[in-house]
Amino acid sequence: MGQIPYHILKTLSTKSKMNGHIGEESELRHFRAHPHLRRSHLVKRIWSFVLIFILLFAIYKTWKWGVEQAYETTIIVITPTHKRPERLADMTRFSQTLGHIRNLHWIVIEDGNHTVEPVERILQRSKLPYTYFYTTTKPGFPKRGWTHRNMGLEYIRKHYKNYNRNAVVYFGDDDNSYDLRLFNNYIRSVETIGVWAVGLSGAALVEAPHVVNGSITKWDVVYAPSRKFAVDMAGFAVNLKLVLGTNASFHEGCIKNVPESCFLTQFGIPRDKVRPYGYDDDPKEILVWHTKTRNIGTKGERHGYVIE
């Protein structure tokens, strides 16, 4: 086809502009004649901007949440457990506490020759990522979870050796009482070793680090205050990097000593470089309690219910 002559194109363009100008004037006259339509049109435009803003804000928050999830510190909890009448009650309570904590891997080690179905069901109901296996106490070791904590450490060193995110390891017994803030405010921010107060630890009302100018100078404890690390098992956490970089464990040499201090000494971190938590809070609240569920002598039949 041939080209359209220039004067025709110019005429068409002029008419188009005129028509557009006439259309705009007609729309303005229409709005002036009907003010309520002008208000309605304005409201629609405002709502369009509001909806666009809300959509963009939602996209931003979703993106930010994803970034935070990708870089949030993982908490690895090692829990030895053994058969006893009150165990299922303890595990139920503990699982429903941990279920509120993000990015947590629960490693549970059964003291026995097999895992236990009711415990497995509790772990499944928690919806947490978990690992559940069994082992018996190594000959010559105390029957207080030493072997099981060591197995948990071995599992971590094998399966987390190439982990490219920050993580912290915590020994959480199944019968203690935990505040959610312990995990979110204390444990998740531990960079080397972190310590804090524990209520009802042994014969003490509370055991805690004694802090002066941000550094630990001694331990406010009843039992063996001269220990290098006079802490309860529930009163400390260790960054994954330290665990992977050493062979620290509850080994034979710890049997004649206090296990917590023996274990922590192996990391080579000076006491004044350990970070204390909660000492300067107001009020100074305890976020973990060394409670014990005791069997006072249960009697009777199971009546078909699941109980150990």
Would residue 300 count as lying in a domain?
Answer: no
Q: State which of 31-35, 42-46, 257-261, 295-299 shows the largest mean pLDDT.
A: 257-261
Lowest mean pLDDT, pick from 15-29, 206-220, 246-260: 15-29
User: Residue 307 corresponds to which amino acid?
Assistant: I
Distance CA 235, CA 221 (A): 12
Distance between CA atoms of residues 197 and 85, nearest Å: 29
What residues pair up with 178 in beta bridges, in sequence order? 288
Task: Detail the residues annotated as belonging to a binding site for Mn(2+).
Answer: 175
Binding residues, by number, are 175
pLDDT tens, residue by residue, 62-99:
655 555 556 899 999 999 999 999 999 999 999 999 99
The DSSP secondary-structure symbol of 145 reads T
Per the structure, the complete domain to which residue 155 belongs is given by 74-289
Q: What does the mean pLDDT of the chain come to?
A: 88
Q: Are 28 and 113 part of one and the same domain?
A: no
Task: Tell me the per-residue pLDDT of 127-174, one tens digit each, with 9 for 90 and over.
Answer: 999 999 999 999 999 988 999 999 999 999 999 999 999 999 999 999
Evaluate whether residue 3 is within a structural domain: no
Nearest to 135 by CA among 157, 114, 160, 161: 114
23 with 114, same domain: the answer is no
Instruction: Looking at the structure, tell me whether residues 22 and 160 fall in a common domain.
Output: no
Q: Check whether residue 97 and residue 174 sit in a common domain.
A: yes
How many structural domains compose the chain?
2
Kindly list the catalytic residues. Answer: 260
Q: What angle do CA 283, 284, 285 make, to 5 degrees?
A: 100
61 within a domain of the structure (yes/no): yes
Residues 165 and 17 reside in one and the same domain: no
What is the per-residue pLDDT for 18? 47
> What CATH number is given to the structural domain containing 194?
3.90.550.10
Closest by CA to 169, choosing from 147, 185, 197, 191, is 191
Residue type, 32: R
User: Rounded to two decimals, what is the model's pTM?
Assistant: 0.79
Same domain, 29 and 123: no
146 within domain boundaries: yes
The domain boundary, picked from 26, 47, 66, lies at: 66
**Which two tokens mark 28?**
């303005």
